[in-house]
Amino acid sequence: MARKIYIFDTTLRDGEQAPGIHLSVKEKLEIAHQLEKLNVDVIEAGFPISSASEFESVKEVASNIRERGVAALARAVKKDIDTAGQALKSAFQPVIHTFISSSDIHLEYQFKKTRDEALEMAADAVKRARDYTDIVEFSAMDATRSDRDFLCRLFEAAIKNGARIINVPDTVGYAIPGEFSALIKYISENVHGIEDVIISVHCHDDLGLAVANSIMAVEQGASQIECAVNGIGERAGNASLEEAVMVIDTRKKDLDVYTDIKTEEIMNTSSLVRYLTGYLVPPNKAIVGKNAFIHEAGIHQDGMLKERSTYEIIKPEDIGVKSSSLVLGKHSGRHAFVKRLEELDLRLEGEDLENAFNRFKALADKKGRINDKDLKAIVEDEIREVSQHFKLDFYQVISGTNVKATATIGIETGNGMQQAAACGDGPVDASFRAIDSITGLNTQLVDYNIEAVSEGKDAIGSVRITVSSEGKEVMGSGISTDIVEASIKAYVDAMNRIMETS
C-alpha cells in the first residue's frame, strides 16, 4: 500500500529568513490560510523567541488554523521552548520543533559545546517541550556534516525523551544524493527506536540538490519533507514545495508514496507567496515558472497538437493554472466583482474588499477590460499590509529627451503632508530622490524589477524593489498601469517596511 509523505511547510519560518523578506502578521496569516487550502500537514509559523512580532505571528496562526499542525521553532534551551509553548497555546495541533547542532564544526566554533553537552541539551529540550505538546520534532542541525554515530546517539536521546519526529537537515546544502540516501538508510538501521517515529528531511538548495535529496530520502523511508513555497529560504533556499509535491504526484506509482496536497492550489499559493514576499519566480522555474507549460520549438508544438502527452508530463490545470479570460469591464458592478473573486477563490472581506472594489472600478475606467490576472494583482496588493508611516498623496513627473527628469512628490507623514521636488537620472530616480528628502531615511537601492501582470499594452505593471538601510534589506512592491506610479508605490512601501523593522 502506498505510504503517505507528510508535507511540513516552512515558508513562514525558514522561507521568511531569506534576505529582505519581512512579512507582517496579517500577511503571514494570509499565507497560512492559503497553505491550509493547499492542505499541507504542518505549517511552521515562525521562531517565537526571535522577536515580539514573530511571537505574535505564531500566536495568530496558531489560533486561526484548525485541523493542521502549527509548528514553532525553538533552540534546545528552556526559554525558547517555553516561549514556543506559549505562542502555540491555542493551536489545534501544536508542534514544538527544537534543534541543536550535531556537527563538530558547529559545536566547536559556534556553540562552544562538547558532544556530551549537546546530548544533554537535546534530551532536556525534548523533555521540556513534551510538557507543552505531544508532538515534538527534534532536528540535528548540520546533520550531513556530522559524525554518523554521534548523530545516531543524538537522535536516540531525543526519541528516548519523547520526540515523535526526527529531522535530518542538510543545513548548508552540501550533501549529494547518493550520500544523503545512504545517511537516511544508516539512521534508519542504527538508531534505537527509529521505527516508532517519523523520519523527516530538511534540505537546502546551495548545490541545487534540495528536492533530489528529499526524494532520495523518501526512497529510503523518510516520511516527511520540509519545504517552502517557491523554494524560498536561507541563502539558496529550501526544497521547493511545489517541485517535491509534483515529483511525488507525477511518479507516485514508481515511488509508491503520495501526499495529501491539493495540487490545484499550487499556482495560487506560489503567486501569493511571490507577491507578499517580493521574491520573483524565474520564468523557467520548474512547475510554477511562467514558461513551465509553454512549448516553443516547432517539433514540440506539432507533437502537442497531435497528442499532449508527447511533451507534457503535468497538465497545467493539475496545479491550478487557469486560462485567463476577459471577465469584467467598467460597467460591471459590485455583485459581478465579488462573484468573480469567489470563482477565483480569492478571499477579501470588509475594508479590504471595499478598497479592492474601488481600485477595480478605477482600473476599469482607465483600461476598460479587466481580466483574472488583473483582479488577482489587485487582491494581492490589497492583502499586503504594513503600517502607513508614509502615504503617497500625489506625484508629478517631467521627463523627456532634452529635459532633466524632475519629480514632485507629496507624502502624508506623521507630521502632516510634506512635499519635495528633485531632479534625477530619469523619472524613477528623480521620484526616489524626492521621497528620500521627505523621509530622511538613508537607503540604497539594491534591486529593481518590473513586469507586466497580464498581456497587452495597457497591462498593470508590477514593480518590486529591494533597498538596504543600515545593513538590513527590505523589499517593497507596487502596482499600477503607470509604471512610474508603480515604482513610487513600491519605494514608499519599502520605506514603511524599513520603519516597521527598525
**Residue (5 or 73) nearer to Zn ion, CB:** 73
Member of 9, 14, 243, 473 binding ligand KIV (CB under 6 A): 14
Q: Of residues 322-381, which lie at the interface with ligand KIV (CB under 6 A)?
A: none
141 binds, among ligand KIV, Zn ion, none (CB under 5 to 8 A by kind): ligand KIV
**What is the phi-psi region of residue 381: left when phi exceeds 0, alpha when psi lies from -120 to 50, beta otherwise?**
alpha
Sole window of 9-17, 24-32, 143-151, 371-379 interacting with Zn ion (rule: CB under 5 A): 9-17
Q: Which is nearer to Zn ion, 103 or 480 (CB)?
A: 103
Neighbouring C-beta atoms of residue 446, cutoff 10 Å: 14
The candidate with the shortest Cα–Cα distance to 183, out of 204, 202, 168, is 168
The answer to whether 160 touches 120, Cβ cutoff 8 Å, is no
Q: Would you count residue 138 as binding ligand KIV (CB under 6 A)?
A: no
Q: Specify the amino acid at residue 113.
A: K
Residue type, 61: V
If the CB atoms of residues 91 and 172 are measured against ligand KIV, the closer one turns out to be 172
* N-term to C-term CA, the chain: 53
Q: How many residues bind Zn ion (CB under 5 A)?
A: 1
The listed partner (Zn ion, ligand KIV, none) that binds 139, CB under 5 to 8 Å by sort, is ligand KIV
Q: How far is CA 262 from CA 5, 37, 224, 320, in A?
A: 13, 8, 17, 9
Q: Which of 34, 139, 439, 481 binds ligand KIV (CB under 6 A)?
A: 139
Min CB(435)–ligand KIV separation in Å? 36
Could you give the C-alpha distances from 165 to 85, 187, 264, 407, 442, in angstroms and in order?
17, 13, 28, 57, 46
**Rounded to whole angstroms, how far apart are CA atoms 26 and 12?**
12
Which of these ranges, 11-19, 188-196, 307-315, 371-379, lies near Zn ion under the rule CB under 5 A? 11-19
Give least dist CB 12 to ligand KIV, A: 13
What distance in Å separates the CA atoms of residue 491 and residue 488, rounded to the nearest whole number?
Answer: 5
Task: Please choose, from the candidates 247, 264, 315, 203, the residue with its C-alpha nearest in 3D space to the C-alpha of residue 39.
Answer: 264
Q: Could you tell me which residues come within 8 angstroms of residue 382 by beta carbon, excluding any fewer than 6 positions away?
A: 348, 352, 355, 356, 359
Of 14 and 205, nearer to Zn ion (C-beta) is 14
Stretch that binds Zn ion, among 10-18, 37-45, 132-140, 213-221 (CB under 5 A): 10-18
**Is residue 169 within the footprint of ligand KIV (CB under 6 A)?**
yes
DSSP 8-state class, residue 176: -
Closest approach, Cβ 205 to ligand KIV, in A, equals 11
Nearest residue relative to Zn ion (C-beta): 14
For residue 273, the minimal CB distance to ligand KIV (Å) is 18
Q: How far is the CB of 120 from Zn ion (least distance, A)?
A: 24
Q: Taking CB within 5 to 8 Å according to partner kind, which of Zn ion, ligand KIV, none is near residue 376? A: none
99/337 with CB nearer ligand KIV: 99
E strand intervals along 53-134: 69-75, 93-101
Cα dihedral value 88, 89, 95, 99, nearest 10: 60
Nearer to ligand KIV, 169 or 278 (CB): 169
Exposed/middle/buried for 89, CB within 10 Å: 0-12, 13-18, 19+? exposed
How far is residue 250's CA from residue 16's CA, in Å, rounded to a whole number?
A: 28
Give the side-chain half-sphere CA count within 13 A for 85. 18
- Binding characters for ligand KIV, 70-109, by CB under 6 A (x = yes): -----------------------------x----------
**Least distance to ligand KIV, CB of residue 200, Å:** 9
Report in angstroms how near the CB of residue 475 gets to Zn ion at its nearest: 20
Shortest distance in whole angstroms from residue 75 CB to ligand KIV? 9
Residue list 13-42, contact with Zn ion (CB under 5 A): 14
CB atoms within 10 A of CB 444: 9
SS3 104: helix
Contact region with Zn ion (CB under 5 A), list: 8-16, 160-168, 387-395, 489-497: 8-16
Tell me the number of residues near ligand KIV by CB under 6 A: 8
320 lines the binding site for ligand KIV (CB under 6 A): no
| Subset of 175-214 contacting ligand KIV (CB under 6 A) | 202, 204
Binding residue for ligand KIV, selected from 141, 151, 183, 199, defined by CB under 6 A: 141
Residue pair 378/367 in contact by the 8 Å Cβ criterion: no
Cell of 388: 502607513
Using CB under 6 A as the criterion, which residues of the chain lie in contact with ligand KIV when the complex forms?
Answer: 14, 99, 139, 141, 169, 171, 202, 204
**Residues making contact with Zn ion (CB under 5 A):** 14
